[in-house]
Amino acid sequence: MIVLLVAVLALSFVGTGWIRRYCLAHGIVDIPNQRSSHSRIVARGGGIGFSAIFLLAIVLLAMPGLGIAGMVPGRAATGLAGGGIIIALTGWVDDRKGLTQVSRIILHLAAATWAVAWLGPVPAIVGGSTIWMWVTQIAGVIAFAWMTNLYNFMDGTDGIAGVEAVTVALASGFLCTLAGLAVPGHVYWLLAATVTGFLLWNWPPAKIFMGDAGSGFLGFTFAALTLWCSVENIRLFWPCVILLSVFVVDATTTLLRRMLNREKWYMPHSTHAYQKLARRNGHLPIAIGVATINVAVLAPVAWLAWLHPALGFPLAIGVNGALAAVALTVRDKR
pLDDT, position 263 = 78
Query: How many Å apart are CA 42 and CA 93, to the nearest integer?
Result: 18
pLDDT of 198 over the 60 cut: yes
- Give CA angle at 26 (25, 27), nearest 5°: 100
pLDDT tens digits, 248-274: 999 999 888 888 888 776 676 778 888
* 43, β-bridge pairs: 29, 208
Q: How far is the C-alpha of 104 from the C-alpha of 106, rounded, in Å?
A: 6
Domain residue spans in the chain? 2-234
Own/partner pairs for 21-29, CB < 8 Å, 24+ apart? 23/208, 28/95, 28/96
In 3D space, the residue among 119, 121, 106, 40 whose CA is nearest the CA of residue 77 turns out to be: 119
Give residue 243's pLDDT: 97
Mean pLDDT of the chain: 89
SS3 category, 271: coil
Let me know: does 299 contact 243? Beta carbons within 8 Å: yes
Q: Report how far residue 198's alpha carbon sits from residue 138's, in angstroms, rounded to the nearest whole number.
A: 34
Q: Is the pLDDT of residue 129 over 60?
A: no
